[in-house]
Amino acid sequence: MHTIASELAASIRSIPDYPKPGIVFRDITTMLGNAKAFRRAVDALVQPYAGTKIDKVAGMEARGFILGGAVAHQLSSGFVPIRKKGKLPHDIVRIAYSLEYGVDEMEMHRDAVNPGEKVILVDDLIATGGTAVGATQLLRQIGAEVVAACFVIDLPDLGGRKKLEALNVPVHTLVEFS
Ligand code: ADE
């Protein structure tokens, strides 16, 4: 049987020992370049929210821009970029988030979301959840209601989904790699 998960898994390239020994990098560029797989992924990300009012889709730099832009278009929602520090030109809110080694900071325009607006967060992959937890905190800081966080890929062994669920953010993913 061809489930959406098995079709998407087959369209994603796995690269051993990248960017360092012991990591299997899940490369979505092959999925993005496959017209059928890209459409299926976006359709499946959108499906739970079809017919509901989502004011904004927030996408994390950089791969979250590609998927989040397509999801926003299909939901007729606005799009909010969450960027690495120093890229946004207007008043920003900023938060530090944990990476595998050390911390970094991400930013969003302060006026990107109005208080009470319903937002879904989109990225390609959830691993440890550091970026998605930071993005949730940023969005909540400016009064957004984070309706869900959506990812093509879940790496369940790294625990990111559980961290988001502990913050009462429902998590929606399409394919798991262990
Ligand atoms: N980000 C964190 N872990 C990853 C992995 N295994 N593949 C792609 N992106 C990642």
Instruction: Assess if residue 10 is contained within a domain.
Output: no
Ligand 1 contact, 18 CB (< 6 A): no
Strands 145-154 and 118-126: parallel
Q: Which atom of ligand 1 is nearest to the CA of 25?
A: 7
Distance of CA 51 from the midpoint of ligand 1 (Å): 32
Helix (H, G, I), strand (E, B) or coil at 107: strand
Ligand 1 contact, 127 CB (< 6 A): yes
Question: What value does the CA radius of gyration of the chain take, rounded to a whole number of Å?
Answer: 16
Instruction: Assess if residue 34 is contained within a domain.
Output: no
Domain count, the chain: 1
Q: Which atom of ligand 1 is nearest to the CA of 128?
A: 2
Instruction: Assess if residue 156 is contained within a domain.
Output: yes
Residue with tokens 């309706």: 147
Phi, psi torsion values for 63, nearest 5 degrees: -70, -25
Helix (H, G, I), strand (E, B) or coil at 93: strand
Active site residue 165: no
Q: Which atom of ligand 1 is nearest to the CA of 27?
A: 8
Ligand 1 contact, 24 CB (< 6 A): yes
Instruction: Assess if residue 119 is contained within a domain.
Output: yes
Ligand 1 contact, 166 CB (< 6 A): no
Give the domain range for residue 129. Answer: 50-176
Instruction: Assess if residue 35 is contained within a domain.
Output: no
What CATH number should be reported for the domain holding residue 114?
Answer: 3.40.50.2020
Instruction: Assess if residue 24 is contained within a domain.
Output: no
Q: What is the ipTM of this complex?
A: 0.97
What is the chain's pLDDT, residue by residue, as a tens digit (178 residues)?
679 999 999 999 999 999 999 999 999 999 999 999 999 999 999 999 999 999 999 999 999 999 999 999 999 999 999 999 999 999 999 999 988 778 999 999 999 999 999 999 999 999 999 999 999 999 999 999 999 999 999 999 999 999 999 999 999 999 999 9
Instruction: Assess if residue 114 is contained within a domain.
Output: yes
Instruction: Assess if residue 29 is contained within a domain.
Output: no
